[in-house]
Amino acid sequence: MFNNIRSSGVNITASTSQIKLTGAGFSRCSGRVEVYHNSTWGTVCDDYWGLNDANVVCRELNCGTAVKAPSRAFFGQGTGQIWLDDVSCFGYETSLTQCGHRGFGIHDCGHNDDAGVICSGQIRLAGAGSPRCSGRVEVYHNNIWGTVCDDSWDLNDANVVCRELNCGTALKATSRAFFGQGTGQIWLDDVSCFGYEASLTQCGHRGFGTHNCGHWEDAGVICSDSEYGFRASSQNESSITLQWNKINNNISFVLQFNGRETFIRAPDGDGPVNHTVSSLTAGTKYTFTLFSEFENVRSSGVQLTAATAPGNPDGFIASSQDESSITLQWNKINNNISFVLQFNGRETFIRAPDGDEPVSHTVSSLSAGIKYTFTLFSVFNDIRSSGVNVTASTSSRSTSSRVCKCTLMSKTCEQTSRS
């Protein structure tokens, strides 16, 4: 308006968000991905889930770029509806729902496959050999990434960065370009945090772009949860293989389990660390605590609860069959009541009744005189056993013929059935 006269006007169309991040340990820019459709929030399956898909989510939430596209319910399992499966984004879409997918509500996965994202937000860690939770601190401002000067840089400042990135607490506030020199813009200098701020940009500083330092003074952090990514990568009936990422080529770790400590020296290289815990009991939950060590100082530790695969069902047989159905029967192990039956490319989830009696399940609508193969898995904590097979056949269909009985005076024919 000028002198009480209005301009011709401009329009903007906006809507409430169709996407959110949630789950165990989630933050504004990292968590389990959920989509709002038909007035219901639902999850996204991790089939084909990758950085292109995660980048669309991060941009849609104004959370920068994708650092990681976690799978296998990394942020915990959702409940209820699963909306999207086989998501396929090019990376430039403005919304995840614009990407290719099988259609809302069409999927072949469970909540143990829920997809997640870890976005850069307004801050990220970069530099030589840096994993997600340690590196040179960089800030996003005016659509440009820039570094932070190490003048007055200390653990209070580093703690704000670690918490903002969901990386635990600070082990060390590095200076003098410990993770290598950045290039281009230097955004912050003389940063002064109390330690409780939600973001580094809320701390005191000289103003964006105002500084008297060079990139040889770039600040960095080493956070306690730099072993972020601690997970069970595989398991069977008697062992669990654990996997995690190193921090700045740190090779010293301590694993606590069942009151014991195991000191682990990781191999050289940038790949993840793998450690297998053996001689475990089938179908049992275990809790592991992992610490990284830096200059004889331990991190606060991260915990993981994982389970071994259950034993296979016992006594899996075809107890009866007719022309169109086969009844299968098996025994439970350790009162396990969850099973999956695979047959003709389909899966049926079966919850057995309480009690010690054998479990029975009838497969119907079959063709007569056909041999079928069934595979049965027991399930514990969303982990399947190795599976057992049984092959059984339906009965042949009855055939009809005419038998003629003749007399001297006439011929009569009676229809009888012959199997």
Structural domains for the chain: 19-119 (3.10.250.10), 123-223 (3.10.250.10), 231-307 (2.60.40.10), 314-393 (2.60.40.10)
Residue 160 DSSP symbol:
H
Q: What is the pLDDT of residue 270?
A: 66
Amino acid 410: pLDDT: 46
Asked if residue 17 has pLDDT above 60, the reply is no
d(CA 385, CA 105): 28
- For residue 10, the model assigns a pLDDT of 73
Structure tokens, 361: 């399940």
pTM of the model: 0.43
Q: What's the pLDDT score for residue 15?
A: 40
Give the pLDDT score at 418.
41
Tell me the pairing of strands 186-188 and 144-148: parallel
pLDDT for residue 172 is more than 70: yes
CA dist list (Å): 352 to 96, 311, 331, 349:
38, 16, 10, 10
pLDDT at 419 over 60: no
pLDDT (0 to 100) of residue 359: 93
Q: Which of 224-233, 360-369, 401-410 has the highest mean pLDDT?
A: 360-369
β partners of residue 395: none
Dihedral over alpha carbons 196, 198, 202, 205 (to 10 degrees): 60
d(C-alpha 99, C-alpha 101), whole Å: 6
Q: Which residue has the higher pLDDT, 403 or 398?
A: 398
Per-residue DSSP letter, 38: T
pLDDT of residue 226: 54
Position 249 pLDDT exceeds 90: no
- pLDDT score at 417: 41
